[in-house]
């Protein structure tokens, strides 16, 4: 079924308020969930709302806190998330650091123990809207399994402001089944598919490959990047590593993952924002794009989907929407009962 942005926001906001979230916290947390639906990423959308509600009821989300901020160094804001809503704690820290970025040139937020942030694109888009380059990294729960999974999804997001829309990249790096990790990470990888010759053809001949190029991303690189992101976040934030991370996928445990935001003042080189936009337009206009289908750059698809969903609404699983409405009715009645 199709619902409107306004209806979805209203339902989620009221449900969270009924559970003790201050209005601005409820609005921001709802915004994050609904925007994920609108961008076409329901994995980060409204199906997480019942879990947030359950976590508040169990006392492992504190809907009222913004966390505790302290300057760990001149350019590093460290935040104890105190089981607050991820979006609320993260945006409070970003807004606290932002006014210092023009003087510092670069700054970092290291955030522990906040709840799930949702799509990281939201945060780097907000940073780009302030005129800064944004990089966001999160650690996350590893996949349950036997053998024990060692890597979280370890999402990374990057936004770079331009003269027009920012570039916005948001992807998961490390979520690979253990079987594939081991297949690709054992001591001597099969070089098949790793390299290309001067004509772009796959080759396993190192001499031909020397004249050519490295093949596009595949699993060994994804695995390496996943481990690197895992260590990067833990080393910056001092937080748990994937096998010990809890609380992003269930309603029993406090959330002990970490999130890192880096904010950078772009170069003030004359004409730079226009040059960046022109480059992205050249990528979009690549002459080999299929007829009528421009090449997209990171962020384009989500932006279009979001704009379309804002006009026309978005599709949601009917059962989920009915469940959310039933939950909302019962809790809001209970809430109003308490009040009266």
Q: CB nearer to a copy of itself: give 205 or 218.
A: 218
- Using CB under 8 A, pick the residue from 98, 283, 327, 332 that binds a copy of itself: 283
Number of residues that bind a copy of itself (CB under 8 A): 100
Beta-bridge mates of residue 4: none
All residues at 6 or more sequence positions from 142 whose CB lies less than 8 Å from its CB, including other chains: 148, 149, 150, 151, 152, 242, 243, 245
All residues at 6 or more sequence positions from 64 whose CB lies less than 8 Å from its CB, including other chains: 20, 21, 22, 25, 84
Residues 152-191 as x/- pattern, contact with a copy of itself by CB under 8 A: -x----x-xxx----x-x-xxx-xxxxxxxx--xxxx---
Q: CB nearer to a copy of itself: give 267 or 338.
A: 267
Alpha helices (runs of H) in 76-218, residue ranges in sequence order: 86-97, 101-104, 121-129, 178-185, 206-210
- Using CB under 8 A, pick the residue from 190, 243, 326, 330 that binds a copy of itself: 243
- Using CB under 8 A, pick the residue from 72, 96, 208, 246 that binds a copy of itself: 72
d(C-alpha 5, C-alpha 12), whole Å: 11
- Using CB under 8 A, pick the residue from 69, 265, 305, 323 that binds a copy of itself: 265
Q: CB nearer to a copy of itself: give 14 or 303.
A: 303
- Using CB under 8 A, pick the residue from 26, 119, 236, 309 that binds a copy of itself: 236
All residues at 6 or more sequence positions from 321 whose CB lies less than 8 Å from its CB, including other chains: 1, 3, 46
d(C-alpha 298, C-alpha 168), whole Å: 5
- Using CB under 8 A, pick the residue from 30, 127, 241, 324 that binds a copy of itself: 241
Residues 30-69 as x/- pattern, contact with a copy of itself by CB under 8 A: ------------xx---x----------------------
């Amino acid at each position: 079924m199709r619902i409107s942005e306004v209806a979805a926001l209203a339902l989620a906001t009221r449900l969270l308020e009924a559970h003790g979230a201050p209005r601005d916290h409820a609005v921001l947390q709802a915004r994050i969930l609904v925007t994920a639906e609108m961008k076409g990423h329901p994995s980060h959308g409204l199906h997480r709302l019942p879990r947030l509600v359950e976590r508040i009821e169990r006392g492992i989300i504190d809907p009222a806190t913004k966390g505790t901020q302290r300057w760990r160094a001149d350019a590093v804001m460290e935040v104890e998330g105190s089981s607050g809503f991820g979006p609320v704690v993260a945006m409070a820290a970003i807004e606290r650091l932002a006014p210092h970025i023009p003087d510092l040139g670069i700054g970092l937020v290291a955030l522990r123990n906040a709840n799930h942030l949702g799509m990281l694109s939201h945060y780097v888009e907000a940073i780009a809207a302030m005129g800064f380059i944004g990089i966001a990294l999160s650690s996350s729960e590893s996949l349950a399994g036997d053998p024990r999974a060692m890597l979280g999804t370890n999402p990374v997001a990057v936004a770079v402001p331009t003269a027009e829309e920012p570039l916005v990249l948001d992807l998961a790096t490390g979520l690979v089944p253990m079987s594939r990790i081991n297949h690709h990470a054992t001591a001597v990888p099969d070089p098949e598919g790793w390299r290309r010759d001067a004509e772009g053809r796959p080759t396993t001949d190192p001499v031909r490959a020397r004249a050519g190029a490295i093949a596009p991303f595949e699993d060994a690189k994804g695995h390496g990047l996943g481990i690197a992101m895992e260590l990067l976040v833990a080393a910056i934030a001092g937080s748990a590593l994937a096998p010990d991370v809890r609380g992003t996928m269930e309603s029993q445990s406090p959330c002990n993952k970490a999130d890192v935001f880096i904010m950078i003042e772009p170069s003030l080189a004359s004409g730079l924002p226009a040059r960046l936009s022109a480059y992205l337009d050249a990528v979009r206009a690549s002459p080999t794009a299929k007829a009528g289908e421009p090449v997209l750059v990171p962020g384009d698809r989500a932006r279009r989907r979001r704009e379309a969903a804002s006009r026309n609404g978005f599709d949601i699983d009917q059962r989920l929407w009915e469940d959310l409405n039933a939950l909302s009715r019962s809790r809001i009645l209970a809430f109003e009962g308490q009040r009266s």
